[in-house]
Chains A and B, each alone.
Chain A
Amino acid sequence: QKEVEQDPGPLSVPEGAIVSLNCTYSNSAFQYFMWYRQYSRKGPELLMYTYSSGNKEDGRFTAQVDKSSKYISLFIRDSQPSDSATYLCAMSDSWGKFQFGAGTQVVVTP
């Protein structure tokens, strides 16, 4: 069983819709939670970063962490075609052990 589970998609939504992405994990030692965005044939870039449980908002993006359920989410409001990419969740513990999800491909259609 993988430590981090993420639905690979693809997730197709119309422009302007809310995109909802999530990951589940099994290692309770994870404390830092991240979302990376990866465009085709490019390297991942950090989108959102949260420490421990709670919500964090940045423009159209909201990240949620529920450590009690071992569940993290990313919401993209007012989605644009430029949001079409693969979104990777990632998490690490206090020792720097990282684990990435397999990534969810998102397609926003005009």
Chain B
Amino acid sequence: NAGVTQTPKFQVLKTGQSMTLQCAQDMNHEYMSWYRQDPGMGLRLIHYSVGAGITDQGEVPNGYNVSRSTTEDFPLRLLSAAPSQTSVYFCASSPSRVTGELFFGEGSRLTVL
């Protein structure tokens, strides 16, 4: 009954460091996505994938990379962390890109000093 699992839950980075946020789902969903949530801004789409080997940019992709080598995993890489990337990151999956029934992970809270 795992659903969408994100690790780590908390992370503190220094400016310029890189790291990877992990996301795994066990529901065999084709569609996976990463959002960031900031106060007053709602959820903003960073990158998404409609299947293994296929990724595309969302609304705020700069400074982030993704890959999708398997259906289950969709890691998000911060290349050179900046204070503006301090946020709560959510991974979500869905059986269909269109219908909107997103299943979210519990979030990863990132602070960049």
Contacts and interface: CB of A to CB of B under 8 A. Distances in A.
Question: Bound pair: A and B?
Answer: yes
Interface of A: 4, 6, 8, 32, 34, 36, 41-46, 49, 88, 90-92, 94-96, 98, 100-103
A42 B98 CA distance: 24
A95 B97 CA distance: 8
A46 B98 contact: no
B100 A102 contact: no
B104 interface: yes
Contacts of B98: 32, 92, 94-96
24 contacts: A4-B42, A8-B40, A32-B98, A34-B100, A34-B101, A36-B102, A41-B107, A42-B106, A43-B90, A43-B104, A43-B107, A44-B104, A46-B101, A49-B101, A90-B102, A91-B100, A92-B99, A92-B100, A95-B98, A96-B31, A98-B45, A100-B42, A101-B42, A102-B42
B100 A32 contact: yes
Nearest to B102: A46
Interface size range of chain B in the complex: 20 to 34
Contacts of A42: 106-107
Interface of B: 4, 31, 40-45, 90, 92, 97-107
B53 to A, nearest CB: 18
Contact of B100 (A8, A45, A98): A98
